[in-house]
Amino acid sequence: MSTSKKITLKSSDGEAFEVDEAVALESQTIKHMIEDDCADNGIPLPNVTSKILSKVIEYCKKHVEASKSDDRATSGVDDDLKAWDTDFVKVDQATLFDLIL
């Protein structure tokens, strides 16, 4: 089993999250920073709190896992992911707003 490259994401309140590069690449903003070689010392996200960043990472991990499962059986995975996404956005309006930004 190969070990994937790790990326460190730093929230506005100083918490660091180490994630697999595949997970980080789910975010277009983070993907562009990695492509621009801005990820060597971690990626600072000054507008994202640790609470929101942990939710974003959870979302990205789920979608990476689902894309790996897609190779095996698509329809069941798609339905499960849609249901998971629906539950994921069942949060208060302020949290949802922060997630979207």
Residue 97: band (very low, low, confident or very high) from pLDDT cuts 50, 70, 90: confident
Q: What is the CATH number of the domain that holds 52?
A: 3.30.710.10
pLDDT over threshold 60, residue 85: yes
- Number of structural domains found in the chain: 1
Determine, yes or no, domain membership for 1. Answer: no
Share of the chain above pLDDT 90, in %: 50
- Tell me what pLDDT residue 4 has: 80
Determine, yes or no, domain membership for 64. Answer: yes
Share of the chain above pLDDT 70, in %: 90
Rounded to whole angstroms, the Cα distance separating 97 from 43 reads 22
Within the chain, what is the greatest distance between any pair of CA atoms? 41
Domain range for 76 is: 6-100
The DSSP call for residue 91 is S
Determine, yes or no, domain membership for 88. Answer: yes
The DSSP call for residue 27 is S
- Tell me what pLDDT residue 26 has: 94
How far is C-alpha 2 from the geometric centre of its chain's CA atoms? 21
- Tell me what pLDDT residue 49 has: 95
3-state secondary structure of 36: coil
Determine, yes or no, domain membership for 34. Answer: yes
Average the pLDDT over 44-62 and give the result. Answer: 94
Determine, yes or no, domain membership for 19. Answer: yes
Determine, yes or no, domain membership for 93. Answer: yes
